[in-house]
Amino acid sequence: MAQTRDDNTIAGNYRRILARIRTQEEHFRRKPGSVLLLAVSKTHGADRVREAYAAGARDFGENYVQEALDKMALLEQTPHPLTDITWHFIGPIQSNKTRDIAASFDWVHSVDRLKIARRLNDQRPELLPALNVCIQVNLSNEDSKSGVPLSEVESLCADVARLPRLQLRGLMAIPAPCQDHAQQRAAFKPLATEFYRLQQQFPSLDTLSIGMSDDFDAAIAEGSTMIRIGTAIFGARG
Ligand SMILES: *Cc1c(COP(=O)(O)O)cnc(C)c1O
């Protein structure tokens, strides 16, 4: 690695994580470049997004609709509009927010019920391509209310695959936090197994959205194609 560990700027953090992803792809015999780094910019302002952008980030994740829309508007302003960002909505979805999500995002990782999928489908503006969708799966069944149980993923995938303005891309999960690498891998494994099984049935499935600041090594080992990193790039959220 060219830069020093002391480079704790957003750009330095971004480049260091990217380098680690490439190293871990090799280590776990993943295809080079097969894991995409999604910069989770929730609670961080437009200026910090610009810093990550300058370091090469083009995919950003947001959890709160209004915050995201305000930020997008700032980033589109002249004299330096950023026009090639891919925006991912990764937070819990309320029904009354689907119209804004469908109009302003390129991806939604947190679809966990048909009602929401239908609304996103119906509200996706005609001039935009189909909205990329991941189904959120609840792996731990304890703390988080979000996500469909693993046993119901197949049927929700089948329903979503029939909606013409959505493109079924993958599965997403947020396992209960834990620091042990082997336990982290064990939590991800049933999801990965189901993902590979469903790929036979749904050819558009190409995205396994797993891995955050504290468990992305394990996620890459288990087949992640998109890791969602906030804290390790932007620092702690206030
Ligand atoms: C906040 C968030 C992240 C990023 O978490 P960090 O631990 O800060 O990397 C990733 N995914 C989702 C769904 C989030 O809400």
Integer Cα distance of 35 and 209 in angstroms: 9
Please report whether residue 15 resides in a domain.
yes
Phi, psi of 76 (to 5 degrees): -90, -5
Q: Is 141 inside any structural domain?
A: yes
Question: Has residue 1 got a pLDDT over 50?
Answer: no
Please report whether residue 2 resides in a domain.
no
204 close to ligand 1 (CB < 6 Angstrom): no
The b/e string for 187-211 (b: 16+ C-beta within 10 A; e otherwise) is: bbeebbebbeebeeebebbebbbbb
Ligand 1 contact, 226 CB (< 6 A): no
Residue ID of nearest Cα to ligand 1 atom 12: 90
Q: Quick check: is 52 in a domain?
A: yes
Domain span at residue 163? 10-234
Number of domains making up the chain: 1
Q: Which atom of ligand 1 is nearest to the CA of 63?
A: 15
Select from 164, 155, 169 the least CA-distant residue to 113: 155
Quote the percentage of the chain above a pLDDT of 90.
Answer: 92
Q: What whole-number distance in Å separates Cα of residue 222 and Cα of residue 219? A: 5
Residue 103 CA to ligand 1 centre (angstroms): 23
4 pLDDT band, cuts 50/70/90, is low
Encode pLDDT of 200-225 as tens digits. Answer: 999 999 999 999 999 999 999 999 99
Strand extents, DSSP E, the chain? 36-40, 59-62, 86-89, 107-111, 131-138, 148-149, 166-173, 207-209, 226-229
Residue 118 lies in a domain: yes
Percent of residues, the chain, with pLDDT higher than 70? 96
User: Does 146 map to a domain?
Assistant: yes
Whether 108 lines ligand 1, by a CB cut-off of 6 Å, is no
The answer to whether position 4 is within a domain reads no
Domain annotation covers residue 97: yes
Residue 124: CATH number of its domain: 3.20.20.10
How confident is the model over 122-158, as pLDDT tens digits? 999 999 999 999 999 999 766 667 899 999 999 999 9
What number does the ligand 1 atom closest to the CA of 174 have? 13
CA distance 229 to 233: 7
Q: What is the mean pLDDT of residues 221-233?
A: 98
| C-alpha 222 to ligand 1 mean position (Å) | 18
